[in-house]
Structure 1
Amino acid sequence: MKNKFFLLMLVLVIGVLAACGAKENKDNSANSNADGTTEQKQVLKVGTSADYAPFEYVDAAKGEDIIGFDIDLIKLVGEKIGVDMQVQDMDFNSLVPALQAGKIDVVISGMTPNPEREQVVDFTDKYNETEQVIIVKKESDIKKEADLAGKKIGVQTASIQENLGNNIAKKVDATVEGRTRIPEIIQDMMSKRLDAGVLEGGVAKGYLKTNDKLAAFPVEEQPEDFKAIAVPKGSDLKDKINKALKELADEGKIQELEEKWLEKVE
């Protein structure tokens, strides 16, 4: 009886192992190349701050996915270099520290290189240039930078607009207040906790379209402002992404994305 029981158990075990082996072979064949070898596509974690329409944002009326110019661009870059780009939302001021800590592999978030950032991460070639504007309520008496004297200016913390706002504030004797997310600046303007905000032109355009109580005008001294993709210091991703960006520009793909997503403030 013991021998028969042992043989029965052995047959069952062999059957289970055979079934598992067949399933594994089936799964592997789905990822097999023509020469019989298998290859698993690399996944890169991409950090962005999804409060920066039209570059990266969530349109709640259409779903929960992060969309925008930067998102379309980084996916095209991923196709060029043969990886899957996995995008995750983070606060803007945590993006560079997360990249340094290895929690993410790439940052694309309307980010402008500056000396502080360039000390700790590498940037690719630029992929977009833009203008900076001051956004205000139409009913306000703020029509130019000089009118900001004694006013409160909202900026996104750790952004190029924060530096620009500080420069304007020194010039006209105004106060600068930082906010984590762009919508907070707009909300606090509408509730009169802020008098104005410094935003990128393309971002401001989106708010002007949806809120007829807002107006905007360009800052007087436009800094050289362009966007680039951030990668860890010394990473070979920089050269790979630069090659992809050049190819996409030569193919007219970046221009197509600009026509799809971006407009200047009129």
Structure 2
Amino acid sequence: MKKIVKIITCLLAFLIVGATLAGCTNVRKRANGQDNWKKIEKKKKVVIGLDDSFVPMGFREKDGSLVGFDVDLAREVFKRYGIDVDFQTIDWSMKETELRNGTIDLIWNGYTVNPERKKTVAFSVPYLRNQQVLVSKKKENVYDAKSMKGKALGLQSGSSGYESYMSQPKLLKNYVKEAVQYDTFNNAFLDLNANRIQGLLIDSVYADYYVAHEPDPNSYRISDVGFESENFAVGMRKGDKTLQKKINMALAQMAKDGTLQKISNKWFGTTKMVPLKEIENQKID
């Protein structure tokens, strides 16, 4: 009798857990399919997920304050709608999961548009050009991909650089002896400077800014290894059509009135912006 009761109890527990999981799945599906603009507008707050060590897009100053190109850009976009921005630091390798679960409303931190991400994420118009480059110390005599033969390469987990590295092995992967993944580029640079890795595949916007602010910029070499240029855009759930439209409208306005270029000049000195005509004519999936 005790065995029968135990079996029934286990079955009931299994059914309850299954129903709970199914309910959570349905909630996520509804969240991903619904348009959340009215909720955001009512709360007057939007939550943006970012890696807060990604210079110059979004990073912490010594006093802990959050600054960067994307930080300024996001605040300016939502300022035009009377909405505050709440930046949430996330594990970059889990960004799509955080978005899907509703922990954040947007991914906005040097987020590259690619076909794989488009399967699950909706994107704004692109606003910035980027490219994956190889950073090394000059003493290592690394000039191109072939120079990495037998050497260790650093990559950020979940980054577009890692995805390009894996999907296009002939460009770099086939030459590398060992690939080491890092949670942040800051940690990767520490290992590069300590000679634990001899190269680092990284976004050009990060590489240019980081190297320029090092005590000895001339000790580094930045090499093009053949990866195509990329576009940065804002990532959101597929159902957030109004949010997508609002961001696109604000970016177009900022491109016209010069605000976009002003923010770019502040952080990059030279233009890396997507041309206005491309922003205005961009077709969104």
- Shorter-chain TM-score: what band? 0.7 to 0.9
How many angstroms does 1:40 deviate by?
A: 6.0
Percent sequence identity is 25
Equivalent residue number for residue 222 of structure 1: 227
Q: Contact (CA 8 Å) 1:124, 1:229: kept in 2 or not?
A: yes
Give unmatched runs, 5+ long, in structure 1: 1-38
* Aligned AA (1:42): K
Q: Provide the C-alpha distance between the structure 1 equivalents of 2:215 and 2:69, rounded to a whole number of angstroms.
A: 21
Secondary structure of 2:222's partner?
A: strand
Query: 2:81 matched to which residue of 1?
Result: 81
Larger Rg: 1
User: Which residue of 2 is the match for residue 243 of structure 1?
Assistant: 249
Q: Higher mean Cα deviation, 197-206 or 161-170?
A: 161-170
Cα displacement (A) at 1:132: 2.6
Counterpart secondary structure, 1:81? coil
Which structure features the higher share of helix residues? 2
CA distance in 2, matches of 1:173, 1:47: 32
**How far apart in 1 are the matches of 2:191 and 2:224?**
21
Alignment of 1:31-42 (within 5 A): 42=44
Contact 1:41/1:82 (<8 A) preserved? no
For residue 73 of structure 1, report the CA deviation from its aligned partner.
Answer: 0.1
Q: Which residue of 2 aligns with 1:101?
A: 101
What SS is found at the alignment partner of 2:139?
coil
Pairing 1:69–2:69 present: yes
Name which of structure 1's ranges 113-122 and 246-255 shifts more when overlaid on structure 2. 113-122
Instruction: Name the structure 2 match of 1:121.
Output: 121
Residue 183 of structure 1, aligned match among 174, 177, 186: 186
Deviation per CA, 1:27-66: give whole Å up to 9, x if none.
xxxxxxxxxxxx9651111111111111110111xx2121
Superimposed CA distance per residue, residues 204-233 of structure 1 (whole angstroms, 9 cap, x where no aligned partner): 123212142641323232313010001111
Q: In 2, distance between residues paired with 1:64 and 1:220?
A: 35
How many equivalent residue pairs?
224
The structural deviation recorded for 1:92 is: 1.2
1:145 and 2:145 equivalent? yes
Q: Which residue of 2 aligns with 1:231?
A: 236
Q: How far off is 1:139 after superposition?
A: 1.5
Which residue of structure 2 lines up, in the alignment, with residue 199 of structure 1? 202
Deviation at 1:174, TM superposition (A): 3.8
In the alignment, is the contact (CA less than 8 A) between 1:204 and 1:216 conserved in 2?
Answer: no
Contact 2:146 2:172 in 1 (8 A): no
Kept in 2, the 8 Å contact 1:202–1:263? The answer is no
| Counterpart position of 1:212 | 216
Alignment partner, residue 55 of structure 1 = 57
Structure 2: stretches of 5+ with no match in the other structure: 1-40, 271-285
Matched residue, 1:29:
none
Normalised by the size of structure 2, how large is the TM-score? 0.74
* The one of 253, 261, 272 aligned to 1:255: 261
Code of the aligned partner of 1:85 = V
**What secondary structure is seen at the aligned counterpart in 1 of 2:88?**
strand
Give how far 1:116 is off: 2.3
Determine if contact 1:169/1:176 at 8 Å carries over to the other structure.
no
Q: Which amino acid aligns with 1:232?
A: R
Q: Say if 1:81 and 1:241, in contact at 8 Å, map to a contact too.
A: no
What's the CA shift for 1:169? 3.2
Question: What do you get for the CA RMSD once the two structures are aligned?
Answer: 1.9
Aligned to 1:165: 165
State the 4+ residue runs in structure 1 displaced beyond 6 angstroms.
none
Deviation at 1:173, TM superposition (A): 4.4
Give 2:10's aligned residue. none
